[in-house]
Structure 1
Amino acid sequence: MVLKNAVPQTPGALAALGLPVAAGLRRPVLASHPARLLVLFGADWDHRVLPDYNRTGCYRFHEHGFDLFRFPSNAQLMWFDIWRFVDRLVQRYRGRIDGVFSSNEQFGALASALVAQRLHLPGPEPLALLRTQHKHEARQRLRQVAPELCPDFELISCNITPQQARRLRYPLFVKPVKATFSVLARRCDTPEQLIGHLRLRRWERHILERLIAPHEQAMARYPQLAVDSHHLVVEEVIEGRQVNVDGVMHRGEFHLLGISDELTYPGTNAFMRFACPDSLDASTRSRIVAASERVLRGFGLAHGAMNLEFFVLRDGSLRLIEVNPRLAAQLAPLHEWVGGVDPYEMAFAVALDRPLPTPRPASFGAAASFVWRRFNAETCPRMPSSQDLQWLSREFPQARLELYPKSGASLARELRWLGSHRYAVLNMPAEDTADLRDRYQRVCDRFGWPAPW
């Protein structure tokens, strides 16, 4: 674990010591007690844990936004405007909050940065965040600051013609310059497969337009960003081990929360589980931590929770998959169970510009976030009954289960956009890896679910 001691709390104190002031640090926050945090676009994992933090008396949360993936909440997507949203929050909370927090990649991270900037609160610079979320801008930046981590890439239009598609090198991996949950990110082996993959129905195009609209609305005020969101990036296909890195940038310094192995379903890029502790050797782990800090500094991300993904190739070299400038809420309990680091507490401290909390002793030796998926509309899993859920709570009280049942048009759309339907996620700790596998198998047997390992 890399956890440096936090030092002075204000720009003046930093300057007095001759230390640089982080670009993302604005006015010092003299937070009230309890600290008042604006939480934007919280969803399943946030809703599980925020009440626990609220009961400590240390925080008071003001929540705004909607759940992009659950009806009827996500109907608001059809008329959402990022600047109207930000303007209302700024008017309502000026002088009434101490920090802004979001673990949401699609709208929350951007909205949080914009609100924090307007209210002169700590947070990432919006331009740096927009560049990081824009896949093409991020690749161009990576090629400048860490070229050895950057795969070969090319920009294409979402309306690419068959003739243009035939000029590309295959196989390739295609992904929108701005999307969420890997929507339309796919390996394509032929020009025909690429063209077919990008052929969307009118309603699908409308939904995707609404998903990228806030990003487009924000980019319109930043002329430095020239490529709009109606483009995709095609990259060389890379094979190797995948790892996930979680950390925070606090006053311009990187602090590691934890690293987890990312395992995918065979023959796909769909995640099957995230596992802690990671299985990296010490040298590779050290290089990944150094690369993470180098990338975040190079991207101008000086303050905030950060999530990075890497490939470790067979020859030991690294390739950066992407940077997500927000807390990876799904993986937060894994680092707390195995590493003794509470990522939410760390992210709150960063949002409030407070000293970072000290890690506690680890309570478990292993943990994982298990993801169940189906790859066609025919294999319909049984959702657990109330008796099943009571059994899970009784047998494994620390386990956290989230269910995402879908059917009909929404199921068909998810299968087409993502290549699979994620119907359940279970976070679970154990004494060690063997115990973790045994617990996982017991849950699968009880629910009648497949148990890939």
Structure 2
Amino acid sequence: MTDTLRPFTRGPAAATTRRATAARSVRPARVLVVFGKEWDRGAFAPQLAAGEIELAFEGFDLFRFPGNARLLAFDAWRFVDRVCATYAGRVDAVLSNNEQFGALLAAVIAQRLGLPGNDPRAVVLAHHKLACREAQRRVAADAVPRFAALGFALDDPRARDARALQAAVAASDLAWPLFVKPIKATFSVLARRVDSARALAQHLRFGPFERRIIRRLVQPYADIAVQVAPGLADAAGMLLETPIAGHQVNVDGYVFRGDVRIVGMTDALMYPNEANGAQHFLRFAYPSRIASDVRARIERLTRLLLAELGFAHGFFNAEFFVRPDGRVHYIEVNPRLASQLADLYRWVDGRDVYRMLVALARGRDPETVERLAPAAGAAASFVWRKFDGTAADRLPTRADLDWLAREHPDARLMLYAKRGAALAREYKWLGSHRYAVMNLCAEDEPRLRERYEAICNRFGWPAAY
């Protein structure tokens, strides 16, 4: 691996902009994106086109072949060493919106390069669902369900033995039914309600290759965690919790010099009824409809938790349950921007979240980023899923996509079609197949629903608003 600077991505107007900025002795900020998300490239486009930034990307797609094959031999510390040797003194900012381990790697790289970033220990603790639950209990015990670690990892034979699982649950002083989830995971992987030891054993029964993938998915995180926050439970273990139901709210914000600032709150609406032991996201709606007093409780709980974790710099996405009586319960906090939702805040509030993201990564106050003119009164991120073990019945044709670009030019569509082993694994791990996500806005909610249903009709997709 050579030590020369890798080419940076520039926008189409970069040559003209470079001539203009040269006269002012200002160059574009060089930003290193670690394990980029599918939403990143489009969201960074306005800054690239304006010549404000140049981008370099390091990492690979964790969930698509052939990129994900690199996971089997991936070494987190070797990656950090190589990236730091390549970019030392040559970048102005390091960032990542990747939940699996990109955010943690970005924090470590930024720290080593002397650039603004979060404390890696805070990122480790936020990612570690058991450690995060313990932090929640310390600051607000009444906002946390009863919980315990299972006691052995997913690749331990006891995780497939109903008798061993029953004994572990009895020792934890919990009772069925339980909500179970990995101590370290993303996208609600393997998170669901189970009613018995036999059902849990079935849920955790994997073939040798799947067990290896699960271990490799958490190993980069574990290799860093043992150095920056030693003594944590095995990241490949499971967390057991008393089930809680309620209306789910997402909180997006950031911390600048220890000051917690809320960007917005979205309502997470679910598909009707449980499927395969879990609720599944149907859409994220903005603005949230929650009452002002509930919003205040959520903000208070968010601030308490972030302070307890030592989270002093960076974007975050926190999740809460709001009970019918107004009580609020923690779900989790993710130490990165929810990139899927950035459009919603831009459209409704004029919050230029990706410019704010770059500003924060450069150590600048995101509040100094100029607001845009709001373009809508309502926005949502819609999710299409299958639940019957099969692939999407229909995907948009080229003609459909041309129609979408012409009739709904602001819509942002992501397709996640899978087949074969990848499809079967998604059903096993997530309980559904998410085949598409679309961000959309309108002047009000009735018009938003009208646009959504028109697109569903054109694509032949269910309109489960």
Q: Same-fold call, TM > 0.5? A: yes
1:140 alignment partner AA:
E
Cα deviation, residue 224, structure 1: 2.9
**CA deviation vs aligned residue, 1:229-253 (integer Å, no higher than 9, x gap):** 2311011111110000100101111
**CA deviation vs aligned residue, 1:153-188 (integer Å, no higher than 9, x gap):** 010023344234332411111001011211111111
Checking the alignment, whether the CA contact within 8 Å between 2:218 and 2:235 is kept in structure 1 is yes
* Shift >4 Å, 4+ stretches: none
Q: 1:222 to 1:251 in 2, by over 3 A?
A: closer
Q: Name the stretch that deviates more: 225-234 or 236-245.
A: 225-234
1:209 aligns with 2:203: no
Given the alignment, which residue of 365, 369, 375 partners 2:377?
365
2:240 alignment partner AA:
V
Residue 423 (structure 1) aligns with: 435
Residue 255 (structure 2) aligns with: 249
Residue 163 (structure 2) aligns with: 163
Cα deviation, residue 191, structure 1: 1.6
Residue 117 (structure 1) aligns with: 111
1:277 aligns with 2:287: yes
Q: 1:34 to 1:423 in 2, by over 3 A?
A: same
TM-score, normalised with respect to structure 1: 0.91
Q: Name the stretch that deviates more: 211-220 or 161-170.
A: 161-170
Residue 78 (structure 1) aligns with: 72
Checking the alignment, whether the CA contact within 8 Å between 2:28 and 2:51 is kept in structure 1 is yes
1:240 aligns with 2:246: yes
Checking the alignment, whether the CA contact within 8 Å between 1:366 and 1:436 is kept in structure 2 is yes
1:323 aligns with 2:333: yes
1:172 aligns with 2:188: no
Distance 1:64 1:287 in 2: 39
Q: Name the stretch that deviates more: 109-118 or 281-290.
A: 281-290
Give the number of equivalent residue pairs: 423
**CA deviation vs aligned residue, 1:295-333 (integer Å, no higher than 9, x gap):** 111111000010000000111111111100001100000
1:298 aligns with 2:292: no
Given the alignment, which residue of 269, 272, 288 partners 1:263?
269
Checking the alignment, whether the CA contact within 8 Å between 2:392 and 2:435 is kept in structure 1 is no
SS in 2 for 1:103: coil
1:444 aligns with 2:456: yes
Percent identical pairs in the alignment equals 48
Q: Name the stretch that deviates more: 282-291 or 392-401.
A: 282-291
Distance 1:447 1:182 in 2: 27
Cα deviation, residue 417, structure 1: 0.6
Gaps of 5+ in 2: 1-24
Residue 99 (structure 2) aligns with: 105
Residue 360 (structure 2) aligns with: 350
Given the alignment, which residue of 300, 308, 323 partners 1:313?
323
**CA deviation vs aligned residue, 1:368-409 (integer Å, no higher than 9, x gap):** 000000012246320000000011111111000000111111
Cα deviation, residue 129, structure 1: 0.8
SS in 1 for 2:115: coil
1:165 alignment partner AA:
L
Distance 1:205 1:260 in 2: 35
Cα deviation, residue 226, structure 1: 2.9
Checking the alignment, whether the CA contact within 8 Å between 1:310 and 1:319 is kept in structure 2 is yes
**CA deviation vs aligned residue, 1:9-57 (integer Å, no higher than 9, x gap):** xxxxxxxxxxxxxxxxxxxxxx963111111111310122223321111
Distance 2:371 2:294 in 1: 23
1:375 aligns with 2:390: no
Gaps of 5+ in 1: 1-30
Distance 2:229 2:290 in 1: 42
Residue 12 (structure 1) aligns with: none
Structure 1 segment 118-197 matched on structure 2, within 5 A: 118-156=112-150, 157=152, 158=154, 159-160=158-159, 161-166=161-166, 167=170, 168-197=174-203
Residue 16 (structure 1) aligns with: none
Distance 1:387 1:127 in 2: 49
TM-score, normalised with respect to structure 2: 0.88
Q: Which has the higher contact order (CA 8 A, sep 6+)?
A: 1
Checking the alignment, whether the CA contact within 8 Å between 1:131 and 1:225 is kept in structure 2 is no
Residue 21 (structure 2) aligns with: none
Checking the alignment, whether the CA contact within 8 Å between 2:350 and 2:372 is kept in structure 1 is yes
Q: Name the stretch that deviates more: 261-270 or 332-341.
A: 261-270
Q: Name the stretch that deviates more: 386-395 or 215-224.
A: 215-224
